[in-house]
Structures are given as C-alpha cells and as structure tokens.
Structure 1
C-alpha cells in the first residue's frame, strides 16, 4: 500500500526582542517538522509482512511499534539511520501504534490495523510444558496446513538449553501426512538438561495453501533419567539400563518373522504411556487376528507397535517371537517396566526377523539417521545449531 507521511508538531526556537527593532541577537530558523513514512497504512492492511519506517530527512534515533496489548515488534535501524525495519511480521487481526523519534528529539506517531487472515495455520507440539522426558525425545511440531515456506518458518523456531546442546531442525512428513519439523540433538540428551522452545510464528506466512500463523507457541521441559531399552529378536530378551548400568533383563515375545506381523527394528522412542487400551488388529491391517483390552501399553510407532503385557502368550516369552508385531511380556514385568519407564526413553530393536525400520514420521525415527543425514533435512543451512 502507498505510504503516508507522519507529521509531528513543529518544534521552533523563539527569536529575541519585540517590535521592529533588532536586539542584536541572531534569529533562529524554526526546525522543519519531522516526517516519516510507514509501509503499512489504513485499517485493512494485509498481515504477514515486516513494518518499515523511513524518515524523510535526518536520522532516526528510536522507533517503537506496539500492538494493543503492549507487545512490541523488535526491529533495527539501518546503518545510515534512514530506515527502521521490524524483525517480525505484522500479525493478522492486530492494531499497531508506531512511534518514531529522530536525533533532534522530534517525534511522530501513527497507527494501522491488519486484516484477519484468510486462512490460519496452527501447530501441535509433542512435549507439554513442564514435562520430564527421556533422553531420546525430540521436539516435534506438526502443522495443520502445508508449509511451503519452510525456511521462513524454521527461522522463527528456537531451542535454548541449559548446557548448550548441539542439535538441528529437520523437515519430514508425519504419519498423518501433514508437514512436520523436529529438533533432534546430535546425540541423546544429557540427564538434567533444561530445554526451552520458542515458536515465534505470529504473522509468518506458511506459503501456498497454508495460511498465516496467528499466534506464538512455546514449551519448556526437562530431561530425566538416562534410561535405555534394547530388545534382541534373536535372544528374545529385553534389557534395561540406567545411567549405563544394567537394571533388568526381561523375557519377551516380539513380532512373528516373515510378514506383516514382524516387529519394526532400529531406534525408536517411547512416545506415550497409554495404560489399558483396546487393540483391534483390523485397525492396523491385520484382519481379525485379535481384538482385546491390553494392559501397560506404551506406544512405539503411530502404526501400532507397542510394548505391553501379553499374558495370553506366556509360553513364548524368551522362547519364540509369535506376536502380531508388538513386544509382549508378563503382567508382572510389564507393570514394573511401565512404572519405571519415561516418555522419551530410547527403545531399540536389534536382531533378525524384523521388517526393517519404520518410516521416520511413523514415530520418532530420526535416530536411525546419521547426524549429517539429519542436518541435511533442515530448510536453512543444513548445519547444526547450539541450543
């Protein structure tokens, strides 16, 4: 839209004397009014673009752009002092006040309103605020609508940690088919690390078909015990370690080798602790193999692989892999395992007879990629960031 000039009241110096006679004092010319222009004007401004304030003459000393709630858009004055540009975009459905001051202590102000977004994008975040999670839990953000402007969105995402953990964002397709971006450390987290995630997305344009974001998001969480699980399909045993020390070895029965009922292998993560749930084989493409209530269930993939109690299969624990893909164990072992496990604990399946690794988006499969492979999925430089 066309810019508009903002005029402050003229600030003038007084001349000495009265009447027509000269007093010998030099007359001071009045200062010209301060005039600035703003790239966004009016009551129906399109959101999703930075605010730019330009001074007609002189140099800017300070610019402040605030919304109706008092929140300020950060920005910077150019090296020549002529222009100020906001670091963030104007948000949809907001009212802004612009206040500018030059190096001569003159000021000018105006205001504008942005229109509501035609389409709004939203996000879902995997780690609730205040959570304590295991050492393999990534930050995972799933978008309601497509994100074509991945680089612009990623620029507004920030992870800060208490120990400067090295990590990187990576873009993948979620199991749901939606766009998703995860932040994974280079190696598993260190116990005790505090993590803060800022998603400064308000006013950012997702790109074609995605719409604008209309709010910011954030979360904070802590890394708990370094507890790791490994299932060996050959020995039919599940081993648990904590801080590198062996805790327990549990006889299990995993997926039946050689077909759809085989287990996924590789590095997975305990995604959720769901407790007692109904499991129906028809919902995961296994016809009418089973339909029952299952206790102490912990999800490993979105496609339905769990670790859980399986008392009906007791004769095969430690002897044969005969399940429909899950890792089953006795009620007593499952109860203890469930109680001590954390969401975010690494869960690795090794040995023969699996159906390979699940897709990255079918759970938290990024740990099956090398560090360089993961960094390459960033929409920015492909290099790591320290949080």
Structure 2
C-alpha cells in the first residue's frame, strides 16, 4: 500500500542540540529505544553507511541513510558536528533515502537524528553517532600581523600552509576566514597569490577600532584529500588616524591626527632618476639607526651618486629601503629641492618627532613626484592604491559579481560615436 508524504517541521536550534545530544555517549549510539512504547518502530529499519560508534568514517564519501523495508519512510534527518555545523542533505520523494550534499569535516564527531514513520503514520526516531577519519593533508592558516595596536592603514594577512589554485577551493577557504570589527566596516579578502590573502576595508579602519580575525576551516574539506587545520585567532586594535602627506612638488609634509593638521615639515624627496614612489604606503617599522649604502640600490662604490651614511630616526615604508628619516646633510634643500635617492629626508629634530608620533600601520602618502606608483604587493603594503572595484575582483567570492556588474554597466559608460 502506498503512503502519501507527510509534512514535517524543522527543529529549532535549541531543540536540535537537545535532540542530537540526548542519549549519546561519546561517539556511540544511544542506549535503549526512545519509542519503546510504540509497538512498531520504523526507525529500527534504518541502515547507515557510517558505522554507529565508528571512528574512521570516510569524510570523502557522502553520508547516506536508507530504509530497509517498504513499510518505513524517512521524514527528516538532522546531522551536525560537535561545533554545531549542520550537514546539508536531500531526502528522496518516497522517503526511502537521505544523503548529504555537502562534504563532511575530517576528524570530527557527528550526531545524527533520523525521524521516520510507518505505514500507519506512527513516528519513530533513531540517533546515531560516529567520528570521521582525519584528513590526509592539513591546510593551516596563519593570520598577521602580530596582536597589538596599529595604525588605521594596517591590512590583515592570511598565509596558507600550501598553495590553493582551484577557484572552488579558494572560495571554501575564503568563506571560512572571518573578520569582524567594532565599529563595523565593509571589507573583503584579496588573493595576492596562491597562498597569501590580504584583507582591508573599503576605506581605512576607523580610529580606535577593535578587529578580530578567525578561521572556521578546521576539519572542512578544501579539496581532494585536503582539510582545514586549527588556527590561532587574531585580535588587533587601531590607534588615532595618523596620516602623513608629502607633496614632492612643494617639498613639504603635512601630518594629520584624526583629520586635524598637527605639523607641517619641510622635506626633500628623490631627485631625478631616483624619484620617490607616489601613492599610499603603510609604516612597516621604526629603526633608530640604519647604515645606508648606495650599493644596496645598485649604485657602484666610488661613483658620483655613491653614499655610505649613518642614518637616525628611520621610519620604514617599503621593504626595498624607502624611509622617512633624519637627513642633516640636506637641511639646505629641505623645503626647496629634491636631492635624495628616494627617501624622504628632514631635519634631525623633525625626524625624531615623526619617529615618536607614528606607529606601524600609519599612513604615509606621497603626491606630486615623478616616481612610479607604489606597488600594491611585494614591497610593503600598497593595498590602498588598488581601487575598491579592483579589490573586490581579487576575492574568490566576489569576482563573478563584479564581472556581472561590468557586463551590465560598462556598455552604458562607453562614449557614443
């Protein structure tokens, strides 16, 4: 005799936790029959491809629940791991089979609640527990920078322990990398290369914000045989919004705190052939003393441009050696001419003030120079020189959306001929 499908109601989160947890001991099956007063329990006709109580269920294979007799049908299946992540699944129209449609996590404990009914409509319930085998390869995420207080220009970084090239796998990884800030701001991840991501807001972080980054990738399948590993969360804070804007054409630097000018400093920047990079840079660190040699940037010893100088109060803005620093040998040119080899030079007193005022993550912008624009990646943090539209295209989750927007709006923006 055929039986028409019956409607069922999804459990609330609190009821789900109680239902999954009730009667389970470790990974084992609940003791006793939860419907012992029911003469015929259709739940007892359930088979399960992960052995109840097993610790080596293959996470690469779909979870499957079937009935063993025509008189029983499945009405609902709820499966979740110990972290509360529910497994998406699909129930056949006749109620004979349910299977998962999303990967299981590796090395995770699962509780499964199977609701059934017999031909007369009598309900039954069976609860099962199992553990999946560990993944073959672990993908670890390391967040950066180190915990602490930074300027409002500091991007977050996520370094992966192995290269991820497949777009679908990248989407899995990016979806698991969570960033929250108070106050909240819009932002997203950008794939710099196959194992490095940067995160920044649309504009700079708010002053005195709290930023947290964490991963939910542990146990999640990333690709064939590759599963996420545990990672250490990161907490940062920002200080005041400090911005230093150097106009290489006027030879002055203007320093602002939270939008208010707090100092104007005469400077010298790179001379022709060594022009300072334009664009926004981020303070990478501060060094009280640095010995600077022309050979470090390819200038042969003994030539007219060679130099070997002790430099104090050096604030680094690129890894290749661009600094804001004391340059007492060029005080006569500061405020009048560009005579350096690419750094921004100022008097010792001004350099000491600047050194004491800024922190890692603060913003240093150069305008009006004949130099190229700061590279976005690889020589420090030039992330802010990437437009927001382009930044969104660097996300595995948002790239397609941006391409669709371009297809819709770009034709309308073309000049008519």
With structure 1 as the length reference, what TM-score do the two structures score?
Answer: 0.76
Give the number of equivalent residue pairs. 348
Q: Residues 227-273 of structure 1: CA distance to partner in whole angstroms, max 9, x if unpaired?
A: 11101111211110112211111112212222xx3211111111223
**2:343 & 2:215 partners in 1: Cα distance?**
35
In 2, Cα distance between equivalents of 1:88 and 1:224: 42
Alpha-carbon contact 2:141-2:231 (below 8 Å) kept = no
Give the distance between the partners of 2:361 and 2:212, measured in 1 at CA.
16
Tell me what 1:366 maps to: 383
1:1-387 paired onto structure 2 within 5 Å? 11=33, 13=36, 28-29=39-40, 32-33=43-44, 35-38=46-49, 52=63, 54=65, 56=67, 57-60=73-76, 62-66=78-82, 72=83, 74-76=85-87, 78=89, 80=91, 83=98, 90-91=105-106, 94=107, 96-103=108-115, 104-117=124-137, 120-129=138-147, 131-148=148-165, 149-173=169-193, 179-203=195-219, 212-258=227-273, 261-288=274-301, 289-382=306-399
Cα pair 1:8 1:34 within 8 Å, conserved? no
2:20 aligned partner? none
Structure 2: how far apart are the matches of 1:286 and 1:205? 51
Cα root mean square deviation, aligned: 3.5
1:23 alignment partner in structure 2: none
Shift of 1:113: 2.7
Q: 1:89 Cα deviation (Å)?
A: 5.3
CA distance in 2, matches of 1:280, 1:122: 39
Q: State the TM-score, normalizing by the size of structure 2.
A: 0.71
- 1:45–1:115 contact (8 Å) kept in structure 2: no
Larger RCO: 1 or 2 (CA < 8 Å, sep 6+): 1
SS of residue paired to 2:233: strand
In structure 2, the CA distance between the partners of 1:77 and 1:301, relative to structure 1 (3 Å rule), is same
* Larger helix fraction of residues: 2
**Are 2:207 and 2:239, in contact at CA under 8 Å, matched by a contact in 1?**
yes
Are the equivalent residues in 2 in contact too, given 1:40–1:51 (CA < 8 A)?
Answer: no
Shift of 1:146: 2.1
Taking a change above 3 Å as real, the CA distance of residues 53 and 242 of structure 1, as seen in their structure-2 partners, is farther
SS at match of 1:337: helix
| Residue 101 to residue 201, structure 1, CA distance change in 2 (3 Å) | closer
The gaps in structure 1 that reach 5 residues or longer are: 1-5, 15-26, 67-71
Q: Cα distance 1:144–1:324, how it changes in 2: closer, same or farther (>3 A)?
A: farther
